Amino acid sequence: MIKVSAIVSLYNAMEFIEGCLEDLTQQSLFASGELEIIVIDSNSPQDERSVVERYQARYPNIVYHRTPERETLYQAWNRGVVLARGEYLTNANSDDRHHPDALYIMSRALDVRSDIDLVYADVYESKIPNQTFKENPGKVKYSYSSFWAPNALLFHLFGCQPLWRKRVHDVIGGFDPKLRAAGDWEFCLRFCVAGLRALHIPKVLGSFLEHGSSLSTGDSTSTKEQNDLRKKYINKPTILSLYRHEGFPIETPQDQARVFTEFAVQAGTIPLPWAPGRSYQDVGSTILACSAAFELVGDDPRAAWNLGVALREAGRADLSEPLIKRGVEQKHPQIDQAIMVAKRDGKTRLPFLPLE
């Protein structure tokens, strides 16, 4: 019985296809007959087909489909979704590799958690093409965080090798075929907005090849698409909706102001899994969230202080200093404490204050 369908998209992937198929056919789930491999050849000019056919002759449960024209990665994944027989799906990028029990571990997690729609795990970074998971020295680890729906607005939560229930597509549809590089993050955003739930497995179950010619790093496409997604999704209604999914009350102005402030704190220091030891600040999101809180509870000196801090981080001293001064003059104990700690520790960056 097929439990998992692994979707492989090919275009100019001759260098990787044999290693990819070797990796997947060595999965313990494949040995038990529970894994199928669906190869979508997007009219590649290379001869990946000959390699796939060699593996088809040796193994069952390998499907090959070639399109008459080149398609986007996410069009290929959508074709794989339609062809899939498995209850669970995963994208198996041709240049990435897996722990031999990765798909077994992940599928069993979904088996026992009917309330969970998707699982994801940590990965090692690889700099060597076709390096197997066993050969990876594990020097650089991408450690993902526990699932927290609002964080989807700040970065892609699920990494490069998630496993999800096929029925998720009945709820949110397929991948956006127009996108070329950020379709997995867009999928993550729609997943979270719909109130679906994911689970992080705190184990390293795969490896990701970091190279300059990938879709995510090869040119400005990914950056442009990500910026477009930020404009579409990072807004007040979506922030409130995602916090409601996490059990936060949003009925009163005070409730909503607390939510916006909490989101501003998150956006102020984002530990990106693929940049170990470094963090990222989404200045635009912090200003949006602090402004929303200030509009709701402008009489709270902490709301004025927080908006001032956000504007200060953006280099807008002309706007920030009057707001910070307003907060200071009202002598709120949390503000007094923040100033004292900043002076004591010699910090130039002021903290955001929760609206408790």
Measured CA to CA, the distance from residue 341 to residue 347 in angstroms comes to 8
The residue type of 304 is: A
* pLDDT value for 346: 73
Please report whether residue 84 resides in a domain: yes
Please report whether residue 354 resides in a domain: no
More confident residue, 322 or 200: 200
H/E run at residue 323: helix 317-329
* pLDDT value for 2: 98
Please report whether residue 190 resides in a domain: yes
In this structure, what DSSP letter does residue 130 have?
T
* pLDDT value for 63: 98
pLDDT band at 146 (very low <50, low <70, confident <90, very high): very high
Q: Any idea which residue has 């290379």 for tokens? A: 46
pLDDT band at 190 (very low <50, low <70, confident <90, very high): very high
Give Cα separations from 205 to 144, 147, 234 (angstroms).
12, 17, 31
Please report whether residue 355 resides in a domain: no
Six-digit token string for 231:
């404009």
* pLDDT value for 149: 98
pLDDT band at 219 (very low <50, low <70, confident <90, very high): low
* pLDDT value for 227: 95
- Residues 216, 238, single domain; the answer is no
- Report the mean per-residue pLDDT for the chain: 94
Q: Is the pLDDT of residue 217 over 70?
A: no
Please report whether residue 142 resides in a domain: yes
- Residues 249, 219, single domain; the answer is no
Six-digit token string for 48:
């990946």
State the number of CA atoms in the 13 A half-sphere of 134 facing the CB. 7
Give Cα separations from 48 to 11, 21, 130 (angstroms).
9, 11, 15
Residue 211 CB coordination number (10 Å): 13
Q: What's the burial of 127, exposed, middle or buried (CB within 10 Å: 0-12/13-18/19+)?
A: exposed
- Residues 210, 240, single domain; the answer is no
Per residue in 82-139, pLDDT (tens digit) is: 999 999 999 999 999 999 999 999 999 999 999 999 999 999 999 999 999 999 999 9
Give the range of the structural domain holding residue 269, as residue numbers without chain letter: 234-345
CATH code, domain carrying 314: 1.25.40
Bridge partners (DSSP) of residue 120 are: 200
How far from each other are the two terminal CA atoms of the chain, in whole angstroms? Answer: 52
